[in-house]
Amino acid sequence: MSSRKFGYGGRILRIDLTERRYRIEELEESWIRPVIGGRAANTKRLFEELDPDCDALGPENILVFGIGPLTGSMLPASAYYTVSAKSPLTGILGDSAAGGQFGPEMKLTGFDQIVITGRADALLYLMVTEHGVGFVDCPDLAGRTIVDSTAEIRRSQRDHAIQVAAIGLAGENQVLFASIVSSGNRVNGRTGMGAVMGSKNLKAIAVRGSRPVEFADTLEFWDCVQRVEKKILAHGEYSKRRRMGTTMLMNDLNSIGILPTRHFQEGVCDYVDEISGEKLAATHKVKNKGCFNCNLPCSRYYVVESLEAEGPEFETLCGFTSRIGNRDLPFALEMNRYLNQVGMDSISASEVIGWLMECEDEGLIAPEDVDGFTIGWGDTDKIRAAVEMIASREGIGDRMADGTKNMAQAFGERAQKLAMQVKGLDIICGDPRGIKAYGLTYAVASRGGDHLRAEPYFELTNRHGEAKRRFGTEKAADRLAEEGKAELVLWSEKIALLTDCLTMCKNVGLCMDVLDFEGAAELLRTGTGLKFTPRYLEQKLGEAVDRLAPRRPVLLFQRRLPDAARAARKDGQGFVLHAAPGVRSLRLDLRARRRRFGGRGLARCLVVHKRTLLRPQGVRKPRHMVGLHRPLSELQPVVLLLRDRHREGPAAGHHRRGWRIVERGDRPGAERRWCFSDHGTALDQTEVLPDSKPSEKISSRDTGCRIARSM
């Protein structure tokens, strides 16, 4: 390969905050074609360099800012950057992406990654240019909002073109779901990356560059870009997305009965017209806003009396309206501005508030259990107070700032089951009982209850003919069907990873079905000059999904329903979510554990109360297991992959390099166990009866209840 790296900056910037030193390294060839860039490169960095047992809020955690080869190019919607670290909220892989202007400006510094370690002895920000790093003490920025901090950094540097990614009060106080915000309203919201910055005494990263970006074949690359632009403009949802952005989903999801209302107790909101994207666009929006070089400016600037700000996105709008029983749209817009200025994830914030509302409403939590704090559905004064207490970690807000799952551990089993989370990460505003592919996505996503690892929006499009062609069944486009959803999620995971590697917006690349392997290969080939083919991309992305996914039986999210299935109805038309009383079982193909969806082996996922997932003795802890050793007792609720109908051979000699499950029965000594290969393939099933010898039990030979490879 030529030393000239088209598309890439070709450099890695390493910063040690403890020593206040930095060094610049050349980007190695092994980090280019095999991983492309963006999220994949960030995750590879963590796999290779992060101690998996480190304290997520300690100086040893690694914080990585990464971009891709096409970031900030002529390609529309390619302005994203990804921030990765071990998550303080979940204890596993954490990352979050955002658009705006920061990523393209970072591109001009010539650094493909900024790798930050250590902890500063005082609050500071980093001034990054193509020449290096300046360490700037900023005690005067403590407690300041993100907009104020950005303005002050630009003023002090005498350069208003500087782009800043900063934290607010929540990040400084290490709220476990604190976010990073750039360009005023572009939020790295999920998994608590803002708390990691706060733990390092890092207020902000400012970037300013002037290094040119070169492409291998500019004219041919431009032809590819024009084809993408035309696909975006010709899309049937273009005008709708331009007018309302993601807030269009308020009415869309409500119409099919999956808009979370009163903390997922209902799927239809009777007052949706008062809080919808249409209402926001008609009454408060004053103009469109877009990310760098995007021909679909889907964000909006709004004014409410004396308040003005940008946003909100659907998750914030729904999270602070229907999800918590609020019908006051101006209040939700107020919360959007406040959350973005203190730097807090709106999904996790609304979930912990909604969870507390439901628990108090059901009598599961008494006022004296939460410092006398009571909160009811739609009580805007109490909601505002709760959000402010979380940001400042005052009163009950200190416990709420640790996240829903962590807070729920102090209460009973019923209260814990009401926490809408997977692996500690709160789920989005989309009821998985009515969108089966999304439910599967929540279950298997490597960072927890997440939709952006796959975003299987295709199941909402009713494109049955295309579903048959791509996934072998028309039911893949039927949101209530289970058939074809494994194949759909696998395909969506690959495209989602591809967009993250290119740092392209998923709303455009994935949801609007603009990006495919053929188009991406042409963009990469003409941009970088490297030999990218559709087959190569699909193969590499499939391998990457396999490596990042849990190579073990799935721990699935399930929500315990009340005695009667929750069904939403409106105007006499029934929107019945397919959910049975008790816990809803989700059926998965066994090969899904290898991310090879399809085939004969079919597993059933059930709830078990006393299960142990064991790592065989003598198996060395792989370096690529990033902080994912979690006692099974900490994962709630516990749902395990149980059975394979088609065994592939005897287990002898294989189980020591794989994984095993033990199911303990009601009778003492009764248990059933399953052996899996290192790739998740079922090898054998054995039953141990009460009169069996103790030496025959798997649990008698293994020590430590640990879950490994849960990425």
As a whole number, mean pLDDT of residues 684-703 equals: 35
Looking at residue 186, which CATH number applies to its domain?
3.60.9.10
C-beta neighbour count of 275 within 10 angstroms: 24
Give the Cα separation of 123 and 203 in Å (integer): 6
Q: pLDDT tens digits, residue range 607-642?
A: 222 222 222 233 333 333 222 233 323 323 222 222
β-strand pairing of 132-137 with 124-129: antiparallel
Q: Token pair for residue 36?
A: 């492309």
Write down the pLDDT at residue 690: 41
More confident position, 238 or 446 = 238
Residue finishing a domain among 425, 447, 478: 425
Residue 406 domain flag: yes
pLDDT tens, residue by residue, 101-141: 999 999 999 999 999 999 999 999 999 999 999 999 999 99
- Please give the pLDDT value at position 327: 97
DSSP letters, 637-675, are S-EEE---SS--S--TTTGGGSEEEEEE-SSTT-EEEEE
559 vs 522, residue with greater confidence: 522
* pTM for this entry: 0.81
Mean pLDDT of 220-244: 97
Same domain, 248 and 151: no
Residue 490 located in a structural domain: no
Residue 550 has pLDDT above 90, yes or no: no
Give residue 693's pLDDT. 38
Q: In the numeric block, which tokens belong to residue 87?
A: 């998550």
Phi, psi of 551, rounded to the nearest 5 degrees:
-90, 65
From the list 58, 87, 294, the residue with the least C-alpha distance to 176 is 87
Give per-residue pLDDT as tens, 281-302.
999 999 999 999 999 999 999 9
* Cα–Cα distance list, 109 to 136, 187, 231 (Å): 18, 21, 31
Q: Which pLDDT band holds residue 30 (cuts at 50, 70, 90)?
A: confident
The one-letter amino acid code at 39 reads R
Residue 4 has a pLDDT of 67
Of 191-195, 440-444, 592-596, the range with the highest mean pLDDT is 191-195
425, 440, 471 — which closes off a domain? 425
Shared domain check, 304 and 187: no
Give the model's confidence band at 556: pLDDT under 50 very low, under 70 low, under 90 confident, else very high.
very low
For residues 319 and 350, the answer to whether their CB atoms sit within 8 Å is: yes
Among 360, 394, 425, which residue terminates a domain?
A: 425
State percent of the chain over pLDDT 70.
Answer: 76
Tokens of residue 610, six digits:
């006393």
Looking at the structure, do residues 98 and 184 belong to the same domain, yes or no?
A: yes
Give the span between the Cα atoms of 160 and 647, in whole angstroms. 64
Is residue 266 located within the same domain as residue 194?
A: no
The total number of structural domains that make up the chain: 3
pLDDT higher at 282 or 677: 282
> What pLDDT was estimated at residue 165?
98
Confidence band of 546 (pLDDT split at 50, 70, 90): low
Do 201 and 260 share a domain, yes or no?
A: no
In the prediction, which pLDDT does 710 show? 26
Q: Check residues 82 and 704 and name the one with the higher pLDDT.
A: 82
Residues sharing a CB contact under 8 Å with residue 695, sequence separation 6 or more, in sequence order:
none
DSSP E strand boundaries for 367-468: 421-422, 425-426
Q: Which of 24-38, 394-408, 642-656, 657-671 has the highest mean pLDDT?
A: 394-408
Answer yes or no: do 323 and 200 share one domain: no
Indicate whether 450 pLDDT > 60.
yes
| pLDDT classification of 64: cutoffs 50, 70, 90 | very high
pLDDT recorded at residue 329? 98
What pLDDT was estimated at residue 542? Answer: 81
| Average pLDDT of the residues in 210-227 | 95
Can you give the pLDDT at residue 654? 30
Q: Are residues 53 and 137 in the same domain?
A: yes
- Do 200 and 250 have their domain in common? no
Interatomic CA distance for residues 25 and 102, integer angstroms: 21
- For residue 587, is pLDDT > 90? no
171 closest CA partner among 424, 399, 391: 391
Evaluate whether residue 132 is within a structural domain: yes
297 Cβ contact partners less than 8 Å away, ≥ 6 residues apart:
242, 288, 289, 290
Q: Look at residue 446 and tell me if it is in a domain.
A: no
Q: What is the pLDDT of residue 206?
A: 98
pLDDT band, residue 213 (cuts 50/70/90): confident
Mean pLDDT of 676-682: 39
Asked whether residue 246 is assigned to any structural domain, the reply reads yes
Confidence of residue 661 (pLDDT cuts 50, 70, 90): very low
Largest pairwise CA distance in the chain? 79
- Same-domain pairing of 249 and 295: yes
Determine, yes or no, domain membership for 556: no
Is residue 250, in this structure, part of any structural domain at all?
yes
- For residue 97, pLDDT beyond 90: yes
Residue 503 Rama label (left phi>0; alpha psi -120 to 50; beta): left
Chain segment 386-418, per-residue pLDDT in tens: 999 999 999 999 999 999 999 999 999 999 999
267 in the same domain as 335: yes
Which CATH number fits the domain that encloses residue 354?
A: 1.10.569.10
Mean local confidence (pLDDT), 592-602: 30
pLDDT at 605: 24
Residue 5's pLDDT band (boundaries 50, 70, 90)? confident
Structure tokens at 169: 């009060």
Asked whether residue 84 carries a pLDDT value surpassing 90, the answer given is yes
DSSP 507: I
Q: Do 349 and 260 share a structural domain? A: yes
Structural domain boundaries, residue 629: 600-700
| Residue 670 pLDDT greater than 80, yes or no | no
Mean per-residue pLDDT of the chain: 81
Residue 364 lies in a domain: yes
Helix (H) or strand (E) holding 500: helix 485-502
Mean pLDDT in residue range 43-59: 95
Alpha helices in 181-299 (DSSP H): 193-199, 218-234, 238-244, 249-255, 277-283
Same domain, 271 and 309: yes
Residue 104 to residue 102: CA distance in whole angstroms: 6
